[in-house]
Amino acid sequence: MSITTLDDLIQSEPGVKGKLVFVRSDLNVPLRDGQIQDCSRIRASVPTLARLRDAGARIIVSSHLGRPKGKNVPELSLAVVAPALGESLGSPVQFCPACIGPEAQKAAAALQDGEVLLLENLRFHKEETDNDPGFATALAELAEIYVNDAFGTAHRAHASTAGIASYVKQKAAGDLLRNELVKLGKVLEPERPLVCFLGGAKVSDKLTALEALAPHADVLCIGGGMAYTFLHAQGITTGNSLLEKDSVGDARKVMDAAQKAGKRLLLPLDHIAAREFSQEGEIRTFEGNIEDGWMGLDIGPKTTEAYAAEAMQANTIFWNGPMGVFEMERFAVGTEAVAHALANSTAHSVVGGGDSLAAINKLGYADQITHLSTGGGASLEYIQGLTLPGVEALES
């Protein structure tokens, strides 16, 4: 790909000083009762914004927040993000209660060199997710230069991630987006052995990733609820565990693909199980078959040991998705054990997906992982070799 970087943009003549730069960031932070619960995405967006500010650009920041589905939902206003972004950036961030139209145009035109303006939630307009050309044009009219730094939405062909690029004079990838492509590229073209850990509830949610990784990874370790569909496909009794009967055939195809490619697909050897998902009540460890009335909610100690051993032998690791029902502490042991193994591995390690990142951060392992991806879905698509619309739109 031939993509202009932030370095290219800033170092070129005449540079960005005094120019209006529209930056698509990912400020989709978790909220509870109107309060930001985690500022990780805000902090991740700062380096690109700081470099543009220091170079004298007049910066217009845009993002979505939640899923307002084309309606103005006050609880999902980005107004709450502006002061938090300003605090992380170390300089004030103005807020505009519109993202297109006269009000947004006036606010953008009033910016001085080095100033930052945050626009209202893009998804208050259904035209954003529809990639409507008129909406994309209205966004483009606010600035001369477009910078996409929102890797988490790069797999979406939306107006602010793909459409806008056709209507600006210059376009570039922000530092966050560029770094994601470089680090994830090492999973696409890995130093082997490549060991992948995939978890989560359903096979259907990650089927395309499973199909792509089964013949690509040297070892594919499966955990989470979707493991029970694979085990059922092997004739193993799974009790009351989560089971997608419609995906059993797909699970068999994934296992066959790994076998034909000479790769190893590993499934849990044992399970931490309970009669119900609760902090109370008896839990048991089952090896092999799980009795009726019991549901597997985490990988067991033998599986944990086996998966950790694979991590220690790897030169490249990719992890997306929890090994158990991570929300409850008694069923988070497997997920935390994988996090520990990655932190202690010397491999190039990449982690994506909310629960996986939560485990890394909770245990204080963030600085021991090579790369924490800001886009769970986007990272899965990229390592499959799929084209990301937000990246394709930046190509010269």
Q: Per residue in 162-184, pLDDT tens?
A: 999 999 999 999 999 999 999 99
- Got the DSSP string for 327-350? TSGGG-HHHHHHHHHHHT--SEEE
Average pLDDT over residues 111-126: 98
Per residue in 358-392, pLDDT tens? Answer: 889 889 999 999 999 988 889 999 998 899 999 99
Place of tokens 């939560």: 358
* Residue 396 confidence (pLDDT) above 90: no
Class of domain 183-383: alpha beta
Question: In whole angstroms, what is the distance from residue 104 CA to residue 102 CA?
Answer: 6
The number of beta carbons lying within 10 Å of the beta carbon of residue 364 is: 10
Question: Residue 34 has what pLDDT?
Answer: 92
Distance set, CA 268 to CA 230, 273, 310, 369 (Å): 10, 12, 13, 24
What mean pLDDT comes out for the span 148-161? 96
Residue 5 pLDDT > 80: yes
For the cut 80, the answer to whether the pLDDT of residue 275 exceeds it is: yes
Residue range 26-45: average pLDDT?
A: 92
d(C-alpha 229, C-alpha 203), whole Å: 7
For residue 81, pLDDT beyond 60: yes
Per-residue model confidence (pLDDT) at position 1: 57
Give the pLDDT of residue 2: 87
| pLDDT tens digits for range 198-209 | 999 999 999 999
Among all residues, which ones are annotated catalytic? Answer: 41, 202, 354, 377
Percentage of the chain with pLDDT > 90? Answer: 91
Nearest to 255 by CA among 203, 308, 302, 190: 203
**Residue 353: is its pLDDT beyond 90?**
no
Residue 376: per-residue pLDDT? 85
**Average pLDDT over the chain, rounded to an integer:** 95
- Characterize the bridge pairing of strands 270-274 and 295-299: antiparallel
94-110 pLDDT, tens digit each: 999 999 999 999 999 99
pLDDT (average), residues 31-57: 94
Shared fold status for 6-176 and 183-383: yes
* 6-176: CATH superfamily: Phosphoglycerate kinase, N-terminal domain (3.40.50.1260)
pLDDT digits (tens, 9 = 90+) for 293-337: 999 999 999 999 999 999 999 999 999 999 999 889 999 999 999
Domain positions in the chain: 6-176, 183-383
State the DSSP code for 61.
Answer: E
Distance between CA 342 and CA 2 in Å, rounded? Answer: 33
Pull the structure tokens for residue 342: 């990655």
For residue 358, the one-letter residue type is: A
Tokens 């985690």 belong to: 38
d(CA 34, CA 171) in angstroms, rounded, equals: 34
Q: Tell me the pLDDT tens digit for each residue of 210-248.
A: 999 999 999 999 999 999 999 999 999 999 999 999 999
Band of residue 40 on the pLDDT scale cut at 50, 70, 90: confident
Listed residue (163, 200, 168) closest to 355, CA to CA: 200
- Bridge pairing between strands 93-96 and 20-24: unpaired
Contacts of residue 256, Cβ cutoff 8 Å, sequence gap at least 6 = none
* Of residues 116, 122, 115, the one with CA closest to residue 97: 122
- Within 215-321, strands assigned E span 219-222, 264-266, 270-274, 283-287, 295-299, 316-320
Percentage of the chain modeled with pLDDT above 70: 99
**Is omega for the bond preceding 68 within 30 degrees of 0, making it cis?**
no
How confident is residue 144, by pLDDT bands cut at 50, 70 and 90? very high
Distances (CA, A) of 45 to 18, 24, 56: 21, 10, 18
Does residue 38 carry a pLDDT above 90? no
Per-residue pLDDT, averaged over 25-46, amounts to 92
